[in-house]
Amino acid sequence: MAEPRSVVVETQDLAKMYGDGDAIVALDGVNLRICAGEFVAVMGPSGSGKSTLLNLLGALDRPSHGVCRVAGQDLAHVRDLDRFRSKTVGFVFQLHNLIPTLTALENVEIPLQEERMTDAARRQRAMGLLGLVNLSDRMHFLPAQLSGGQRQRVAIARALANNPSLVLADEPTGNLDSKSTDEIMDLLKKLNREQGTTFIVVTHNPAVARAADRVVTLRDGRVLRDERIENVYLEDLREFKETALGHALVDGDIPSDLSALGLDKLAASIGQLLRTV
């Protein structure tokens, strides 16, 4: 039997309010459990609380109430939050906030400054990370000399510098064309598979979400859906459900031409299946 996977993220009744008298409810009782090695996409309309959730998980902000545990630590009781942010989580944002006056290599070295390692070892590790994101030939370039996709790859290498348990990415492909988007997603999936890094990626892009093994959809600060994409046919079934024949089968109306072929039982089973998707 497979080993049970460790839980990397656990939230209980997580809530965040803003404004006078907590007028704005950004998150409203979110319960999530995410295991090591999962690749989770977070979707939902603008203002549904996606970034707020990421900010709480990364300890960039504090919840109004509820519990948030990351890598076994209750964030309310973490003494050294700076250390937590630099050791346990890696952040990738849409605006990659690379330091413009530093080269790609120097940007990736920043999170390693606190590590007790020699300058040579630090450089070696940063070079290895840039190799991982396929940018060995650009390591001495400044951010302004890189394309948007290349800059995002530097940001990903930087996020991985300290071997974080969890990478939080807020629309990491938001400002990229579809080719660069595919490249970044392929890279994140590769890192997820090969390094076992856990990813939580906020996205509006269904193509990006399709790369995930689980999609959490927020609406008005609540989890509207939490789906594991184990069945690759799920989306196809949903599409079929919305057709005239799909609607009929869901309602248990077996079209006469199917009956004539003796397919009543099969049609009824498909109807039953469609009611569950």
Ligand X SMILES: Nc1ncnc2c1ncn2[C@@H]1O[C@H](COP(=O)(O)OP(=O)(O)OP(=O)(O)O)[C@@H](O)[C@H]1O
Question: Which residues of the chain form contacts with Mg ion (CB under 5 A)?
Answer: 51
Nearest-approach distance from CB 204 to ligand X, in angstroms: 6
Token pair of 142 as six digits: 């400044």
Q: Say whether residue 21 binds ligand X (CB under 6 A).
A: no
Nearest-approach distance from CB 179 to Mg ion, in angstroms: 24
Token pair of 107 as six digits: 């940007």
Beta carbon nearer to ligand X, 126 or 212? 212
Nearest-approach distance from CB 169 to ligand X, in angstroms: 13
Beta carbon nearer to Mg ion, 172 or 271? 172
Binding segment toward ligand X, per CB under 6 A, in 49-57, 72-80, 156-164, 222-230: 49-57
Q: Say whether residue 24 binds ligand X (CB under 6 A).
A: yes
Nearest-approach distance from CB 221 to ligand X, in angstroms: 7
Separation of first and last alpha carbons in the chain: 29
d(CA 208, CA 41): 8
d(CA 197, CA 187): 12
Q: Say whether residue 168 binds ligand X (CB under 6 A).
A: no
Token pair of 207 as six digits: 């193509």
Alpha-helical segments (H) within the chain: 50-57, 81-87, 104-109, 119-132, 148-159, 178-195, 206-210, 234-241, 244-250, 256-260, 264-275
Tokens 């944002």 found at: 93
242 binds, among ligand X, Mg ion, none (CB under 5 to 8 A by kind): none
Binding segment toward ligand X, per CB under 6 A, in 1-9, 43-51, 118-126, 248-256: 43-51
Burial of 252 (0-12, 13-18, 19+ CB in 10 A): exposed
Beta carbon nearer to ligand X, 19 or 262? 19
Determine the residue type at 113.
Q
Nearest-approach distance from CB 202 to Mg ion, in angstroms: 6
Nearest-approach distance from CB 167 to ligand X, in angstroms: 17
d(CA 25, CA 18): 6
Q: Say whether residue 18 binds ligand X (CB under 6 A).
A: yes
Report the interface residues with ligand X, using CB under 6 A.
Answer: 18-19, 24, 26, 44, 46-52
